[in-house]
Structure 1
Amino acid sequence: MKKILFGAVCVILSAITTGVQAQIIKDYSDAELEVYYNKRDIKDTLNMDTRYQDTKMSLRIGGGHALFASTKTMWADSLEIYNHDLYMEIYFKLNPLGSGVWTPMGSYESEYLFKNMPEGKNTVYQSFGFDRYTYEEDIEPQEWILGDSVRSILGYECRLAECDYRGRHWIAWYAPDIALSEGPWKLGGLPGLILEAYDSRRHYVFTALGMTTDVPGKVGIHIFTTLDISTIPREEYLRLRWRKMNSREDPSEKLRAAGIIKSKKQEKPVKQNYWRQDFEETDYPHVMYLKKK
């Protein structure tokens, strides 16, 4: 039965991917620099040494704009745009019908952050399961306190800075020799590129792995989106993402709604199993539930 359900899910995903594929809706500029980071986020704050996820991220900078997203996810979405047939061929090799396992084409990190796109604003996009959402916000600069500490990262002398931003205390190490006021995620505004940043609890850690300037004319900074996307306020986006992350919805409900399987009365309620995790920004109405051991 699980294999049948998974096969039906693949059919739905195939229909969604084929009918509503990612598109570039606006090019802003060519990238002048691409910085590669490792993003480590803790999946269980009560067991930090064993439950975490590492994701390779890319920060593309150019023309006063920046794009921050999973490197593999950007690759997959680019392939979907420029060679959709090959995208689908690889997709079904990774996810053969009846296998009972789903592997994303890109990575499990699917959020896109478009910085200063449009001018003076950030745009955030992510898909939650079968649904896609976006929000736009005014750029809110961090109020950094510069420190005296110095350390070397990737051969650059980096200086310490700290700030409070949207519910977390952030520590950053920036390189004055790289005169770009950018950094991973929404962090930036320092007199140099941020090469490492983490919150005081180390629930999120961004560490630069390398960078390249061999990108002008090769890599663009543009907005990816889909046609069936819902625009909502930032707080609603975060609340919705939180609810979906913690709801443990029965996936067969989507299949019943699509008419793929017959309706069946649910015999037992789905057990709630709250994550011991929160997002980079925590300043939205919600309750941080922790499952007791």
Structure 2
Amino acid sequence: MKQFYIPFIFLLISSLVPAQELTDKFKYKATYDLTWQIDSTNSESIQNETMVLFIGDKISRFSSEGQYIADSIKEAYKDRERTQQSFNEMRSKMPMSALNFYVFKRQNSAQVSFTEKIIKDNYRYTQDIDDLNWEILHETKEVAGFVAQRAKASFSGRDYTAWFTTEIPISEGPYKFRGLPGLILEISDNDDYYTFKLNGFKELNDEIFIEFDPEDYLEVSRERFLQIKQEYAENPFIKMENSGITMGFQPGQKEKLLREHREELKKENNPIELE
């Protein structure tokens, strides 16, 4: 049985920080395997991604590992001379990721911030997720070497089963999930369309410093963000052109690409949040 002891002060630290900026040092890293079905009508349309959850005293940050690595590479190159060679070198080191969002959760607060970049614009919306009304059950099993206990809840149109452990007494989890008396090790919806499963947890020897400044993002409502994303999905060329990106098309090529894109879009009909 594994046991992680979290300093008591960690559980008591307030999240009362200035709204305009939030800084923290991450102390723990949880890695999850995410498996999801992008087309609800095709059981073979499965995608996999490694996700990372960094946990600090004030905030946690959740993203794909690929996005985290790519942004770290960009940060390392930002002060270098901007040449085609340095750009190509940077791009060659970046991993591919199907997911480019971040979820920030404030400790001891209902506030959850979601950020995502669409072309050149970084969007952010904030929502309060007070309580998922978890039903904690007596059933237990082993997950990733920890004794885990079962819990159930509903979120954004889906019913979920989670497995959490009090051996890691941190009320955190992947994506927007949290609120249990221990780290969520595994969670999946009842249709098994989305499954997050822990494959590693460690205390960070070298603390990772994070600065989250909301002013770096275009603040919109969640409803407006979903509208913007839908508009981009239906016609990405308009968003590109509005962002100053010029593209040269042969006659009829743009229309052909748009038709093909919309056909592919029909297969991406199974978002994690339905409401």
Bucket of the pairwise TM-score, normalised by the shorter protein:
0.7 to 0.9
The whole-number CA distance in structure 2 between the counterparts of 1:125 and 1:226 is 12
1:282 equivalent to 2:274? Answer yes
> Are 2:70 and 2:94, in contact at CA under 8 Å, matched by a contact in 1?
no
Where does residue 132 of structure 2 map in the other structure? 142
Q: 1:64 to 1:51 in 2, by over 3 A?
A: same
Matches of 1:45 and 1:75 in 2, distance apart? 30
2:230 aligned to which of 227, 231, 242: 242
Would the alpha carbon gap of residues 196 and 263 (structure 1) be closer, same or farther in structure 2, given more than 3 Å must change? Answer: same
In structure 2, distance between residues paired with 1:81 and 1:57: 20
Per-residue CA distance 1:17-59 (angstroms, 9 max, x = gap): xxxxxxxx945221121100011121221112x2122111111
Q: Give the stretch that moved more between structures: 123-132 or 31-40.
A: 123-132
Offset at 1:180?
Answer: 0.8
Q: TM-score, normalised by structure 2?
A: 0.77
Q: Distance in 2 between matches of 1:278 and 1:124?
A: 19
The residue number in structure 1 matching 2:199 is: 209
Match of 1:54 among 30, 38, 48: 48
Report how far residue 154 of structure 1 moved: 1.2
User: How many angstroms apart in 1 are the aligned matches of 2:115 and 2:202?
Assistant: 25
Determine the structure 2 residue equivalent to 1:223: 212
- Larger deviation, residues 32-41 vs 119-128: 119-128
1:144-159 paired onto structure 2 within 5 Å: 144-159=134-149
Give % identity: 21
CA distance in 2, matches of 1:26, 1:81: 19
Q: Deviations over 1:160-207 (max 9, x none)?
A: 101111111011000121111111011111111100001111221101
- Equivalent in the alignment of 2:88: 92
Go from structure 1 to structure 2 and tell me whether the alpha carbon gap of 1:259 and 1:129 turns closer, same or farther (over 3 Å shift): closer
Does the CA contact (< 8 Å) of 2:26 and 2:204 recur in 1? no
Q: Which runs of 5+ in 2 are unaligned?
A: 1-19
- SS of the residue corresponding to residue 137 of structure 1 reads strand
Distance 1:194 1:268, change over 3 A: closer
**What stretches of structure 1 move > 6 A for 4+ residues in a row?**
262-267
User: 1:278 aligns to what SS in structure 2?
Assistant: coil
Instruction: Look up the SS of the partner of 1:133 in the other structure.
Output: strand
CA distance in 2, matches of 1:267, 1:34: 44
> Is contact 2:119–2:243 with CA below 8 Å preserved after alignment?
no
CA distance in 1: counterparts of 2:99 and 2:214, whole angstroms: 16
Unaligned runs of at least 5 residues, structure 1: 1-24, 97-102, 284-293
8 Å contact kept, 1:67–1:221: no
Q: 2:175 aligns with which of 169, 185, 191?
A: 185
SS at structure 2 position matched to 1:60: strand
> CA 1:222–1:260 in 2, change beyond 3 Å: closer, same or farther?
same
In angstroms, what is the RMSD of aligned CA positions? Answer: 3.3
Within 5 Å, which residues of 2 pair with 1:15-30?
Answer: 26-30=21-25
Number of residue pairs matched by the alignment: 249
For residues 48 and 90 of structure 2, the distance between their equivalents in structure 1, rounded to whole angstroms, comes to 21
Q: Contact 1:75/1:106 (CA < 8 Å) preserved in 2?
A: no
Change (3 A) 1:224 1:34: farther
Residue 207 of structure 2 aligns to a residue whose secondary structure is coil
5 Å-filtered alignment, 1:30-179, equals 30-48=25-43, 50-84=44-78, 85=80, 92-93=88-89, 105=95, 107-116=97-106, 120-179=110-169
